[in-house]
Structure 1
Amino acid sequence: MDAGTGRAGVDRPSPSPGDRPTVGVEEEYLLLDPESGLPLPRVDAVRELAGLHPAIDHEELQNELLQAQVEVATPVCHDLEEVGGHLLRLRHALASAAEAEGCRLAACGTAPYAPAAPPLIVDAPRYHSIRKVVSRLADEAMINGMHVHVAVPDPRTGVEVLNRLRPWLPVLTALSANSPIWYGSDTGYASWRTIVFGRWPISGIPPHFADAADYESRIDHLLAAELIRDRGQLYWQARLSAKFPTVEVRAMDVQLRADEAVMLAGLVRALVASATRDAAAGRRSDPRTPESLEGAAWHAARYGLDGTLHDPASGLARPAAEIVRGMLDHLGPVLDEMGDTRAVAPLVHRLLAEGNGAGRQRRYLAEQGRAGLITMIAAESAAS
């Protein structure tokens, strides 16, 4: 989850129209006991030790809501090779620090095992305030997402992009699904994180906005009505940054493998670039009905890449592999132009052939049990 406002990829100005937009990634991880797989509240010690690494900037390591979680934020990146390099650097430093502190770094969308007692909240006023407001929801916040920031030239364009991203968000959820196990059992869902996070206020797929003024007026109302305390509590699957010129896409589970995170970052950037061009050309966005998109989002979280997904254009169900290949065809020219095809297309095809993180977690749990699952999660999370 995300209890803050997001910082990845946002410390430089946005590019001029027509340039390749910059991109940044945030990832959330759990700290797990290597034997039991239970979350361990050791974030302060792990952050402090990782921060001593000469290749790590303290600003890149951030707290999350729980003491058993840690978040990283890459600098602004101009290409996907940069994204991959930063994610590997950050994962390696944190994995080494976690091991030194008697735990393991876990890039899984949910804590596969959890104690009966509520998890400890990070000792900071913001997090205590959130815990007081959301109550029991905070106890179930052992969920980890991946957030991709892509630069946009201005808020007007940003809102146009959000409108056009809405039907693609379920496809991103299905591709990234990596959270099938919860409290020691298979939930039957590919992305249980999506379901848990969907219980939070102002979450799910964002509404369709008339324009940038409509976006601002709706948020102003939420603030005036005291339904949110700040814009960091807009938990939509895609939103505009409150501080920086980016669209932030938040529909994805954190990825076991860093190369799959890079692939998703490339898909998101291509979707944003394509939507930006459509808006500039005056092509209208399709204001798909909220019930259709909410149903598609639930379906994607439930089944992932198994079975069907819903076509972003028609809204009708089609084989998941067909939808994903259609996405690649749609984004092919943009990916080629940005030089991202080699970092994206082969990984998408590998995912279709081998399964996403949800499938791999299920296989390891079935074949090797609890110990095998925890070992696999830790190994893939820190692998190059």
Structure 2
Amino acid sequence: MRTFGVEEELLLVDVRTGLPTAAAPRILEWRSKDGGPELEAEIQQEMIEVVGPVCSTTQQLAGAIADGRRRADADAVAVGARALPLATSPVSVHPHASPSSRYAEMMRRYGITARRTLTCGFHVHVAIDSPREGVAALDRIRDWLPTILALSSNSPFWDGTDTGYASYRNDVWSRWPCAGPNPVFGSEAAYREHEGSLLASGALLDEGMLYFDARLSRHHPTLEVRVADICLRQEDAVTIAALCRGLVETAVIEWQAGMPPLRTDQRLLGLATWRAALSGMRGDHVHPVAGTPCAPAASIAALLEHVRPGLEALGDVERVVHGVQEILRRGTGADWQREQVARRGSVGDIVRNLSADGVPAAESTGESASVIV
């Protein structure tokens, strides 16, 4: 069974005001040492990352995500904050860089891009047998990542304003050097040569800034898919992670069968990613194969058809199809956030009506409920 795991970046808000708060250092200093999920600092103190365990099944992963979010929020509450699954802050914020020499150098080199980056992503690690297998999978999953982004979209607001995007996080993140789709490599040697040439340019601080939508992990024997927003709902996070694992499994099946990857132009993939970030589930996509405008249902149908061999091999078909249908039915986190503002007229209500486990309070209790106490 191909194992997988996730890293979730959560937004930290003040428990009294609901405003973003630089609580990460206090959480990491205080946090309970009971063998729970690992918490790590990120570039800004208003966010924290939960590093989940290696899992074999979607059921295990669902439990790990629930445990990670619950424990991160409990540790945040202990220092007067909450840890919530929002990919951008709905209200204006001036972030505080985490205290490290690396982050300080990033602030110096990259100016406002570094200073204003407060975005929470969802990273899926899928086990690979070798870097060679991983590069073969990277070459074959790239066309499907824009649809993954659209399904995860959870960041329509920035500085208190509706941006018009479903995933404005992607737009903010795209300002970093090397962010975005990768080319077709064809071999591990070509992948390493590509990395080396980018680093040799001097434009990047280090190899940790190779911010491709998907890449080989530097620390684990995994392929890391980095394109998604942190999902509002835990169940959607499981669906996205299972889709990513299914894509890698399908890619390896194709590679072993001698099937070549699609060679979509990298610029067209960039356009498809931009369109997915803009539209989410509420506007046109670029079809993953045809490269022409299509409805979200069409790109998702193409994705599910493509990924079916991998999902069948992993036993995830029913779980993933149901999860995707639910996203199509009720929308994404971006849709929920906009509904809150349309109903109440204030972006502050996004935080006030969101529970820590990613279930909007009105859904979990049948009525509006505040998480700010």
| TM-score, with structure 2 as normaliser | 0.92
SS across alignment from 1:31: strand
AA paired with 1:207?
Answer: P
Task: Give 2:370's aligned residue.
Answer: none
Q: Does 1:374 find its partner at 2:351?
A: yes
Does structure 1 retain, via aligned residues, the 8 Å contact 2:149–2:228? Answer: yes
**d(CA) in 2 for partners of 1:130 and 1:45?**
22
C-alpha deviations, 1:308-346, integer Å up to 9, x for none? 212222112211112212322332343233122343221
Q: Does 1:205 find its partner at 2:185?
A: no
Does structure 2 retain, via aligned residues, the 8 Å contact 1:23–1:269? Answer: yes
Superposed, which structure 2 residues align to 1:1-384 within 5 Å? 20-52=1-33, 54-57=34-37, 60-115=38-93, 118-368=94-344, 369-381=346-358
Task: Give 1:14's aligned residue.
Answer: none
C-alpha deviations, 1:240-269, integer Å up to 9, x for none? 112322111011000111111111000000
**d(CA) in 1 for partners of 2:162 and 2:205?**
35
Query: What 5-or-longer segments of structure 1 have no aligned partner?
Result: 1-19
Deviation of 1:382 (Å): 7.0
Deviation of 1:164 (Å): 1.1
C-alpha deviations, 1:98-127, integer Å up to 9, x for none? 223222212111111123xx3211111111
| TM-score, with structure 1 as normaliser | 0.89
Task: Sort the Cα spacing of 1:101 and 1:372 in 2 relative to 1 into closer, same or farther, 3 A.
Answer: same
Deviation of 1:35 (Å): 4.8
**d(CA) in 2 for partners of 1:332 and 1:214?**
29
Does structure 2 retain, via aligned residues, the 8 Å contact 1:105–1:382? Answer: no
Deviation of 1:236 (Å): 0.8
Percent of paired sites with the same residue: 36
Does structure 1 retain, via aligned residues, the 8 Å contact 2:69–2:357? Answer: no
**d(CA) in 1 for partners of 2:302 and 2:25?**
44
SS across alignment from 1:51: coil
AA paired with 2:253?
Answer: R
Task: Give 1:16's aligned residue.
Answer: none
Report the number of matched residues. 360
Task: Give 2:367's aligned residue.
Answer: none
Task: Give 1:3's aligned residue.
Answer: none
**d(CA) in 1 for partners of 2:277 and 2:307?**
23
Does structure 2 retain, via aligned residues, the 8 Å contact 1:110–1:142? Answer: yes
SS across alignment from 1:27: strand
Task: Give 1:9's aligned residue.
Answer: none
**d(CA) in 2 for partners of 1:51 and 1:131?**
31
SS across alignment from 1:203: coil
Does structure 1 retain, via aligned residues, the 8 Å contact 2:20–2:46? Answer: yes
**d(CA) in 2 for partners of 1:262 and 1:380?**
13
**d(CA) in 2 for partners of 1:34 and 1:243?**
35
Deviation of 1:379 (Å): 4.3
C-alpha deviations, 1:37-90, integer Å up to 9, x for none? 3210011222334333x2515xx1111011111001111111111111111111
Does structure 1 retain, via aligned residues, the 8 Å contact 2:21–2:81? Answer: yes
**d(CA) in 1 for partners of 2:136 and 2:313?**
22
Deviation of 1:215 (Å): 0.9
Deviates more, 1:352-361 or 1:311-320: 311-320
**d(CA) in 2 for partners of 1:77 and 1:204?**
27
AA paired with 1:31?
Answer: L
Deviation of 1:24 (Å): 1.0
Deviates more, 1:371-380 or 1:191-200: 371-380
